[in-house]
Structure 1
């Protein structure tokens, strides 16, 4: 990178991207003074909000205000463009792509193509989209290494909680043998509501009201989001090549209040568990509802909290808990990857 500048092309401008921009506004001067890099967003490709390219740096305060007021970028601004996302990536002259588009659970596209295009253009990549890690991690990793570029993805599982960095930097010499986690906020919240006596339908409505669930919560309820996270963890931590469709998956739509009461009789709660393990010398993944005893740490993971237990050959089991994250924690994962990138330059 020249002149110690990082020029960002931001793909996707949803809640996480907007919060990251707020964080960057607050932290930009600090990063410049402490790390010696001037961070600018020079391009944004928003699926429904429009596109912007400005080599001098986009006025993020104005962009955030425009989106808040009208739901899209100012079409009369001189730096507004009508290009498609791939055109913006190819023409923006940025040196870092931050991929925050929506997850496609079936194939990880178009995020994978966005990342490949960025690598072809000599750009480092940070992704908060778990699709590329769940579907094509090894190829993207190898591509970045061949080109001498960084490929970072901490935000893809458990928001800003340092899962991948923890294993990479804090567990040197350890081999991950298996993992188990509660990784989907919506299903955890719904099951907790049902434990309190609310019906499945009312629990879904409450999750939507609080913003935990999408208008169509199928990806969460049927276990697809959890399967994508399981695949991502398997691909990175256990060096395999698996995708969400290959995960043994069962969601929670069949769980009834009667099931919840049966679990209580046995001093248990029902939790949607993600697992990665080796069986018959083959790495496998599973997502399924499980009875968890009240004495187990996993039973106390409430509301939108998450937990991941990682079992290694040398360190045994290590557990990491994220307590009721907000959108700021997701944005922090992106910001932490940005700081990690700076360390390597």
Structure 2
């Protein structure tokens, strides 16, 4: 480790593959970071907990020669109580319908003095105001750049480049699985085989209805409405097309018109209330999202002064998702930790 730069102690929990992607990116970028990333512990759904009392590890050490897996009781909350850190990263943790379990340990992390980075869509969709209030009370930061579009800078764009702007409309392709399946159906592949391809690529749940019927996109709509429009909308008020009733019709229409079938999320703010939908549509060739293929994403923001801004994600995947976590780490370091106390591990009695 480079001890000439301040230590930023991190604890990571979630999916093994994405946790490793974050560690690999931290290792690759280590020489250019203004801090030295020091990992106090890792908890993954697949392999349990990795930590060693009184020690921190560089990303390279964890990737090359990880410490012995140790048992910690109490799940993620038990992990948080045992392993100190400056920042807790919740990375692709399991999602329940309303994110209650994840929200509970995110609140524990904030209340115990950690900054928090998460991409858990259910927890953010149903508990974001509560989490933001907890962060404000504890003078910690909550960040979630990777919760949609695999880390495209949506929230940082709003935070740093659109200050004072009112966003009136948001439109986007927010779920890659549904759009991949629609495009494969337009190419003549039957739906069941297209879903199997998406599942083989690791982008589809065992039950694809979560993606196809718009639930995943609706969660992201709620997050966008809260974070970008300072408003809220009930999940039941978001109109979602029934896939079984409309998908085949949209595919046939797109092929006939030379368009492209897509699942499009839309959010409108008229100055008084927010309305939103997740609809199956045919995109014309002049649509900003027409060129997006396979698992690619897109988001368009209409503002009162700048007009329309379009973000396109053409290389989604674990590395771009990991970058969202790194961007949030840089933000937390710059805004808060750089000005604060030494690392928790400056004391021999820390662990």
TM tier relative to shorter chain: 0.7 to 0.9
Helix, strand or coil at the partner of 1:285 = strand
* Residue equivalent to 2:14: 12
Pick from 305, 326, 337: which aligns with 1:314? 305
- How many residues matched? 330
- Summarize the alignment of residues 248-287 of structure 1 with structure 2, pairs less than 5 Å apart: 248-257=239-248, 259-278=250-269, 281-287=272-278
| CA distance, structure 1, for counterparts of residue 107 and residue 28 of structure 2 | 31
Pick from 174, 177, 186: which aligns with 2:165? 174
| CA distance, structure 2, for counterparts of residue 310 and residue 189 of structure 1 | 23
TM-score w.r.t. structure 2 length? Answer: 0.86
* Residue equivalent to 1:28: 30
The worse-fitting range, judged by mean Cα deviation, of 155-164 and 38-47 is 38-47
Once the two structures are TM-superposed, the CA of residue 65 in structure 1 deviates from its matched residue by 6.5
- Summarize the alignment of residues 1-345 of structure 1 with structure 2, pairs less than 5 Å apart: 4-31=6-33, 35=34, 37-54=35-52, 55-58=54-57, 60=59, 64=63, 77=68, 80-83=70-73, 84-242=75-233, 244-257=235-248, 259-278=250-269, 281-345=272-336
Q: Give the 3 Å change call, closer, same or farther, for CA 343–334 of structure 1 in structure 2.
A: same
For residues 177-207 of structure 1, the C-alpha deviation after alignment (integer angstroms, 9 at most, x for no partner) is 1100011111111111111111111211222
Once the two structures are TM-superposed, the CA of residue 221 in structure 1 deviates from its matched residue by 1.4
| CA distance, structure 1, for counterparts of residue 321 and residue 244 of structure 2 | 27
Q: Which runs of 5+ in 1 are unaligned?
A: 67-72
Indicate conservation of the 8 Å contact 1:9/1:96, yes or no. Answer: yes
| CA distance, structure 1, for counterparts of residue 162 and residue 60 of structure 2 | 40
Once the two structures are TM-superposed, the CA of residue 279 in structure 1 deviates from its matched residue by 5.5
Helix, strand or coil at the partner of 2:100 = coil
What's the Cα RMSD here?
A: 2.3
| CA distance, structure 2, for counterparts of residue 19 and residue 253 of structure 1 | 36
Q: Which runs of 5+ in 2 are unaligned?
A: 337-351
TM-score w.r.t. structure 1 length? Answer: 0.88
Q: Give the 3 Å change call, closer, same or farther, for CA 270–337 of structure 1 in structure 2.
A: same
